[in-house]
Structure 1
């Protein structure tokens, strides 16, 4: 079945409900007709400034309404969107842009200074192929985004885009290694969006809140729920808990995604009970496990259904803990979805038994096309018969519920024994003074590696390393015991909320 392209349904929505609101961002509201015409105008202007079918276009900005317009305009022009983490600067920014082979860049004015620091060392992007969004002054060396939209023809360009064409290059989260360019076609992205709509039961009547970065796979996919289902999107530039609760109330949000840390912070808002959150139908969580106590608080306070899911940028989500099981199997990450084949295998690629540790390997229609220009990495990421190796370790029980143990690369080996940081982190989190934690392995002359906990305390809490270590080690097996504790003000995280343990290990 042909699924079309990510922009294919926009003219239908513009015709059938021209005056309905499609996107909300701060004080800006765009109807479906306005959105469609601006997308076409931008697509035509991008073609005029040299963007061709298949061109890679870097998108370097924080969340803003133009970013969603850009994604759809690039789709309409047949180009490939390359969203880049707006926090990346210097050599890392140069490396990502150059390795993506981007010919053009669309940069918000707030990030222009960081972009200009590397502009002279970019291989194929120049000032004449750079477009500036926003800002309070003119930028004569660059193209103006608003002028491109203003002067562009509002009819769709004559570009033959198919479902097999690549729509986006999404960089991996880089939790254990440097980011890789993940190539996703139109039909793969549409399939992921349709799978989301089916599993989470949303359609054109719903209003989705996007508070996660659009350059990340979660936010990027959510931006296309508008085009695939006709739902309304409400976008925020950043996460501010009181503001988010106010948006849910005023915009009558029905579906929203947050990472565990965001839930914890929202639940601490002093006047939480004063907000009317009755419009919510479903809350979603991923990136890290939700503690049982937090789940109970979410259900009690938000008074709506909660679903946890598990996956990665290469696969989309392939496991889900549905609302009926959220407390029944609270430590599980759920059942496999019907759209996927899921196995747990050992180092030889052989299936492990119930309750035994193995690596998740996956097959399904929503798997990515390839890593960009990384053939060896691509080959090493699959078993011989086409199963994608996720790098995540888990086990399954007799009821078919899966449990996440940890990233394979995060596993600590001490004295020849495998230690999963997640097991230790769960114990640390039970202490009432702890807000957040991450466990890593550090070099140990005797055992090879020793366990180190990096801990964030709740505001106003006081406890020293010795007492926290004693509390945890009494609850841990001897081989799991913590040898070092470091208190920090925050943990480094990627946009989806996953802790960047690679950075913690580099600190030592």
Structure 2
């Protein structure tokens, strides 16, 4: 955080990179963004020792001396004047559907979003204490860690995710708000009610989930333990910032929903003809707000594809609105499966699979099928490595979804591949098929 804020004050845009990427992936991003300086920790320095970077002139290894460096630093005079449309950071997209792209995030976007967050979540003030557990290499992890500092509050930022450490920290540090992704909540709830109840903080006002769909079964457990006034499920993107939020009062009333527009945000769902969809009609979601990006780094064609003629943004997600205007993300446009001429959205099937008592995690993709064109394949992680056949899964799904939507293949794996933000890497799953 000190490096990001220091670079920002000096007018330097920081590209944030997931340290768990391969050396080749890190090399590609550094070369693409034309980085001049690379900050790494000790383990990453060894990991990247033999990597050739085209533009980097210095690699700085961060170790236990960081605090000493900060204390010895001197104020710099004549700092540049930052303009609102200048680039603050260049996070790279998660690459769940293709090659990662550098996203130009302006200061204006993130500062205005911070004020929107304070109004929406109610846990950012000088008196609040926030726990940040999501990787800061992604847009959401960054903004939720930055917000409490921006408003003069307290931020506990964790380097690693340890479920037991998280729940004990909530109580010990009198945390008022924290942000996580579904993978985090699954790990926390896996500790069991006894430990969770023993460490339940009376100070907690807000829990925020983002990055991937939070299964309804997980929502119900969170509400059961922490109450019905704290949970928010937020939908957004690196390019568009926060787009919508499902507030606590609606968590159990609006199933599989991501709520209403975030402050100062307009949302429309558009069909293939370019017209706005009727209620409950699936289309592509577009948003307009002060939080939009400045485009993709060195990819003008991709930027053009992401914006309509009026400047509204899409990242390729399919959605629908109900009669009350609440938003439901159906799936990624690129993940939609066409089987027997029918459009099928894997997320719908995944939500059903999460309800199975023996399923810990699940992801569904389309695979080639001679008869149907495409068929559904489910990748499952089961409790105690238990066996689950196609027949057993389809028997469970019977009456919950149409027969054509039932998986024709099932593969049991140790873990669903996800990026640092918790999103399923379906490109990786397709390679496993």
TM-superposed CA distance for 1:476, in Å, is 2.6
Find 1:291's aligned residue among 215, 228, 244. 215
CA RMSD between the two structures: 1.8
Gaps of 5+ in 2: none
**2:173 maps to what in 1?**
251
2:11 aligned with 1:86, yes or no? no
Find 1:134's aligned residue among 38, 41, 63. 63
The whole-number CA distance in structure 1 between the counterparts of 2:358 and 2:186 is 14
TM-superposed CA distance for 1:146, in Å, is 6.1
TM-superposed CA distance for 1:216, in Å, is 0.9
The whole-number CA distance in structure 2 between the counterparts of 1:276 and 1:398 is 37
The whole-number CA distance in structure 1 between the counterparts of 2:66 and 2:161 is 26
**2:255 maps to what in 1?**
330
The whole-number CA distance in structure 1 between the counterparts of 2:105 and 2:112 is 11
TM-superposed CA distance for 1:472, in Å, is 2.5
2:281 aligned with 1:281, yes or no? no
Deviations 1:41-89 (A, max 9, x none): xxxxxxxxxxxxxxxxxxxxxxxxxxx1001100111101111010112
The whole-number CA distance in structure 2 between the counterparts of 1:150 and 1:260 is 38
The whole-number CA distance in structure 1 between the counterparts of 2:255 and 2:399 is 23
Deviations 1:436-479 (A, max 9, x none): 10000011122221110001112364434432233225533132
Other structure's SS at 2:15 match: strand
Find 1:300's aligned residue among 215, 224, 229. 224
**2:94 maps to what in 1?**
173
Alignment of 1:53-92 (within 5 A): 68-92=1-25
Other structure's SS at 1:482 match: coil
TM-superposed CA distance for 1:341, in Å, is 1.3
Gaps of 5+ in 1: 1-67, 136-143
2:313 aligned with 1:388, yes or no? yes
The whole-number CA distance in structure 2 between the counterparts of 1:86 and 1:206 is 30
Contact 2:365/2:430 (8 A) holds in 1: yes
Contact 1:163/1:187 (8 A) holds in 2: yes
2:424 aligned with 1:499, yes or no? yes
The whole-number CA distance in structure 2 between the counterparts of 1:209 and 1:459 is 31
Deviations 1:368-400 (A, max 9, x none): 111000001111111122111221111111111
Other structure's SS at 1:309 match: strand
**1:434 maps to what in 2?**
359
Other structure's SS at 2:91 match: strand
Q: What TM-score do the two structures reach when normalised by structure 1? A: 0.81
TM-superposed CA distance for 1:484, in Å, is 0.3
The whole-number CA distance in structure 2 between the counterparts of 1:415 and 1:360 is 25
The whole-number CA distance in structure 2 between the counterparts of 1:223 and 1:328 is 29
The whole-number CA distance in structure 1 between the counterparts of 2:48 and 2:196 is 40
TM-superposed CA distance for 1:148, in Å, is 4.8
The whole-number CA distance in structure 1 between the counterparts of 2:18 and 2:385 is 33
Q: Please say which of residues 265-274 and 326-335 is displaced more in the overlay.
A: 265-274
**1:5 maps to what in 2?**
none
**1:375 maps to what in 2?**
300
Find 1:116's aligned residue among 44, 49, 59. 49
The whole-number CA distance in structure 1 between the counterparts of 2:156 and 2:48 is 28
TM-superposed CA distance for 1:347, in Å, is 2.3
Q: What TM-score do the two structures reach when normalised by structure 2? A: 0.94
The whole-number CA distance in structure 2 between the counterparts of 1:88 and 1:175 is 13
2:158 aligned with 1:158, yes or no? no
The whole-number CA distance in structure 1 between the counterparts of 2:45 and 2:199 is 38
Find 1:349's aligned residue among 269, 274, 287. 274
Other structure's SS at 2:384 match: coil
The whole-number CA distance in structure 1 between the counterparts of 2:412 and 2:398 is 17
The whole-number CA distance in structure 1 between the counterparts of 2:100 and 2:376 is 26
Contact 1:469/1:485 (8 A) holds in 2: no
Find 1:269's aligned residue among 187, 191, 208. 191
The whole-number CA distance in structure 2 between the counterparts of 1:176 and 1:485 is 22
